[in-house]
Amino acid sequence: MLVFWKENLAFLAVPKTGTSAYEKALAPRADMAILNPPDLKHAPVYRYNRFFRPMFEKMGAPDMETLAVMREPVSWLSSWYRYRQRPFMTGKANSTKNLSFDEFVEGYCKGARPGFANVGSQAKFLEPRPNGTRITHLFRYEDQARLIGFLEDRLSVTLDLPRENVSPRLEVTLSPRVEAKLRRKCAAEFALYESIG
């Protein structure tokens, strides 16, 4: 998470949406850069609401705006699948080595997800809170130009993004049957993505 105090903006880091590159480029410009532990670095809206928002309000920023990025759901799962293919993951419970992308997504669609498919939910990460705390500015990962334009304008910077924390290149395909199941079981993910203007 990156916080820009004077610009009244908190950039929440949804995993696997390119936020590591933005952190690298913008952390020196930020007033706060929460890079560790991962549970705070990747604080979802509910954790932001519980811990960070009250602190910001006490320090004089009652209306801190929030920004986040959401990736197209199949692409997001593909990134997780490829990320967990790294040789470092071999032998670990969350490794996807020797699994097809269909098997990974089938695991993700289960009520009790196996370790290899337990990667959370973008919709849950971004879910508004009953008190009205929500993401003010939501961008599609696939529309980097719009996100960069917003940040350059809001922060008065010129961005040159490095490639950071990139998943291994690997062709993955999802069968129509499994994709239909994913769209049915995880409809909220697709509905939220489609709602982004």
CB neighbour class for 18 (10 Å; exposed up to 12, middle 13-18, buried from 19) = buried
Any idea what DSSP says for residue 66? E
In three-state secondary structure terms, 42 is: coil
- On whether the pTM is more than 0.85, the answer is yes
User: How far apart (Å, rounded) are the C-alpha atoms in residues 139 and 54?
Assistant: 25
> And the tokens for 32?
């706060």
Any idea what DSSP says for residue 110? S
Looking at the domain that runs over 2-195, which CATH code has it been given?
A: 3.40.50
Predicted confidence at residue 166, as pLDDT, reads 64
Predicted confidence at residue 197, as pLDDT, reads 83
Q: What is the pLDDT along the chain (197 residues), one digit of tens a residue?
A: 999 999 999 999 999 999 999 999 999 999 999 999 999 999 999 999 999 999 999 999 989 999 999 999 999 999 999 999 998 888 888 999 999 999 999 999 999 999 999 999 999 999 999 999 999 999 999 999 999 999 999 999 999 887 766 666 788 999 999 999 999 999 999 999 999 98
Predicted confidence at residue 62, as pLDDT, reads 87
Residues in contact with 26: Cβ distance below 8 Å, sequence separation at least 6, in sequence order: 2, 11, 151, 155, 157, 159
Predicted confidence at residue 88, as pLDDT, reads 87
Would you say 189 and 121 are in contact if contact means Cβ atoms under 8 Å apart?
yes
User: How far apart (Å, rounded) are the C-alpha atoms in residues 174 and 61?
Assistant: 45
